[in-house]
Amino acid sequence: MTMTSESPSARGPAAPLHVLGALALELKGDAAVQRSALARHDAGALSEKIARDLAGFAADTAALDLVTVGAHYDPVELLRPGWPLHRELDELAARAPRERGAEQAGRVIAFGAHDDQLPGALTPSPDFAGGPLRLVPFALSGSPELVARVGETLESSLLERGMAGADTALAAQAAFGLKVEHARYLTVHDLAAMMALQYDHAGLGPLWPLLETALLQPEGEQWLDALPEPLVHYADGEARIALFSPAAWHARYAPEAPCDTAECRDKLNRRYQHFEARLRQIAAVLGAHAVPVTFVHCDGEQPREEM
């Protein structure tokens, strides 16, 4: 993905500023992971291999700055509105000095841990440790024209042929102390597409359009309004989830004739409990992606108007 400036120019959309992506490490089974972060030297060694691999997909990447970190993260830590992890890399890299005479050469900047502490807000969250897919993020920056050209090439090629070099996969495996099944490169668009499929397989497909809007058009608007799902409205940078009174829930989700038997009432109660569990699940997924969640009490017959 290419990151653009905040607003379009008078002549059209602003030129892209960065290409955002990650080295994706698919782990073997339940093997233990020894380290979530690398010391500076090891982070630098891995970053050189990443730079070499990316230049093999698009030669012009050698003229761009590559910024990465010796740490691995869960997909939800990358797929967040505003791409905060990548922005943190960019802001830290902006403080790195450029050697005199190197204005035209791309730098390789890798952040590692000092005394077991990563700089800024780069520490992976222990709340999301243990997943089967771990990501080492990177950002490419430079002249807008070059970034646009490299971004287009990587967007069209990585998903199909973006396998990392064998020595890169082995270096990541040894450095982090984990077992790598596959290692490949993805743009954040590729990662989003992969997560959309995974969420669909996990029964969360109806939520994805709303999440996608939060990621790619954070100032946009999207509804999840499809029975029997909870009612969710994304707008103004937050997700508003409807909380229905028992009567309002019954009118929207179970408008059939009133139950006259204990068996029917038990069945209706189970449906309501399932709905509440689904509501909590959706709120948790949105929260994991750092989408702010607000619960809105809705008692009327037109709940969309209350949200």
Q: What does the DSSP assignment read for 122-185?
A: -PPPGGGTT-SEEEEEEEEES-HHHHHHHHHHHHHHHHHH-BPPHHHHHHHHHHHT--EEEEEE
Q: Is 272 exposed, middle or buried (0-12, 13-18, 19+ CB in 10 A)?
A: middle
Closest CA to 191 of 17, 50, 74, 37: 74
pLDDT, residue 100, reads 56
pLDDT, residue 305, reads 82
Position 19 confidence tier, pLDDT thresholds 50, 70, 90: very high
pLDDT, residue 98, reads 66
Q: Taking the model in full, what pTM does it have?
A: 0.90
pLDDT in tens, 53-62: 999 999 999 9
pLDDT, residue 42, reads 97
CB neighbours of residue 128 within 10 Å: 14
pLDDT, residue 10, reads 35
Q: Is 229 exposed, middle or buried (0-12, 13-18, 19+ CB in 10 A)?
A: middle
Closest CA to 187 of 148, 150, 154: 154
pLDDT in tens, 188-241: 999 999 999 999 999 999 999 999 999 999 999 999 999 999 999 999 999 999
pLDDT, residue 105, reads 65
| Cβ–Cβ under 8 Å, residues 123 and 77 | no
- Between residues 46 and 9, the one the model is more confident about: 46
Q: Which pair of tokens denotes residue 80? A: 């967040």
Handedness of CA 50, 52, 53, 59 (dihedral sign): positive
Position 128 confidence tier, pLDDT thresholds 50, 70, 90: very high
Beta pairing class for 232-235 and 133-141: unpaired
pLDDT, residue 104, reads 56
Beta pairing class for 232-235 and 238-244: antiparallel
245 Cα distance to chain centroid: 34
pLDDT in tens, 135-188: 999 999 999 999 999 999 999 999 899 999 999 999 999 999 999 999 999 999
Residues of the chain with pLDDT > 90, as a percent, come to 76
pLDDT, residue 5, reads 34
DSSP letter, residue 114: B
Position 99 confidence tier, pLDDT thresholds 50, 70, 90: low
